[in-house]
Copies of this chain bind each other. A is one copy, B any other.
């Protein structure tokens, strides 16, 4: 894509009402636009990041295996009354139909997926079963000042699993932990992301979270450096030591929850009477688990954690484009012709690149490229043309090399 055709522009200053680093950087770089507190538009570059994250997560979910669906945001009050959450959940958006029938605007989908599955599930042979979706969720956040880290409207991957018994749930639970770990590895987030033991709610003693260390986080966790595991401070009474090695000398850190893994047991299957016939023909309650991962929040986490004073630094797996091509030169210079040819050749090979084809000062291009933060930058100038090479720079390390076009293609993989 040619940068001159992008309708967004970078800004020197962040919007005055943004306090969170992720929102400031993403707004300045033209990835997002704030509509009101906790509600953002995703602009072309930002939407590309969401799509990259979605596809990365989707592959891991399909591999579990789980089946993808799309459940609605508008949800009947009756379902929420059945589980007792209509009154209990204080951040639930409620609205009225023309006939004054009350509806919920879904912050989560247990109240929809459980009765849905009831239509298709009868025997033990139908289990296990796992269903996921990418869905816009709504939560009436009292404070929404953390940019994409805490939205009133946000994109989430939610996964629900259905099992015959707790052993089967535990197996699947462990599989999801593995899938999440793979996702964080691909995003270069695994070093600062900790599998964290947390409170389990009404059914189970514990749940698990993936917590990413950042001063912007709202959670306090205590980490075991040797096991790369953590305990959420909320259960410090119950669990004082590392759950793996028993180490009692845990370090306190600030972190944000990137994903969670929860045993629901029969909390939802009972109110909706979701049962299966076991091998003996006896009806049993289905055992459930749920597994959330905030996609737009993950974009915010990446902006918080992978950035410097010059701007964003995307990992390849989440970058809107893996390569930023900068042509330095005026009007119809050789550098621009060579860049146009390179863009064409790379696109023909299936590579996605952002070409800054604007006729502006080199310094401005470099500053914009730093702010936008694509992982690699290729520069074509009169100087590189004389050398017969392309200058390649890594955004993260600043490392430079000079490559031929063939070498550049090979390096893009």
Which residues does A use to contact B, with CB under 8 Å? 5-9, 30, 33, 35-36, 39-44, 47, 50, 65, 67-76, 91, 93-95, 97-98, 105, 112, 116-117, 119-121, 126, 129, 131, 136, 138, 140, 142, 152-153
A-B contact pairs, 26 of them (CB 8 A): A5-B65, A5-B67, A7-B67, A7-B117, A7-B120, A7-B131, A8-B120, A35-B75, A35-B76, A36-B74, A40-B72, A41-B69, A41-B70, A41-B71, A42-B69, A42-B70, A43-B69, A44-B69, A47-B68, A47-B69, A50-B70, A72-B153, A73-B136, A73-B138, A74-B153, A95-B105
Chain B residues lying within 8 Å of A75, measured Cβ to Cβ, are 35
Chain B residues lying within 8 Å of A40, measured Cβ to Cβ, are 72
**Assuming A7-B117, A136-B136, A140-B97, is B71 touching A44 (CB within 8 A)?**
no
Binding site secondary structure of chain A: mixed
Chain B residues lying within 8 Å of A43, measured Cβ to Cβ, are 69
Judging by beta carbons under 8 Å apart, are A95 and B95 in contact?
Answer: yes
- Least CB distance from A10 to B in Å reads 11
Q: Which residue of B lies closest to A40 (CB)?
A: B72
How many of these chains are in the complex? 2
Q: Which residue of B lies closest to A67 (CB)?
A: B44
Judging by beta carbons under 8 Å apart, are B112 and A41 in contact?
Answer: yes
Judging by beta carbons under 8 Å apart, are A76 and B36 in contact?
Answer: yes
Chain B residues lying within 8 Å of A76, measured Cβ to Cβ, are 35-36
Chain B residues lying within 8 Å of A91, measured Cβ to Cβ, are 98
Q: Which residue of B lies closest to A109 (CB)?
A: B41
Scoring A7, A43, A74 by chain B CB atoms within 10 A of each residue's CB, the highest score goes to A7
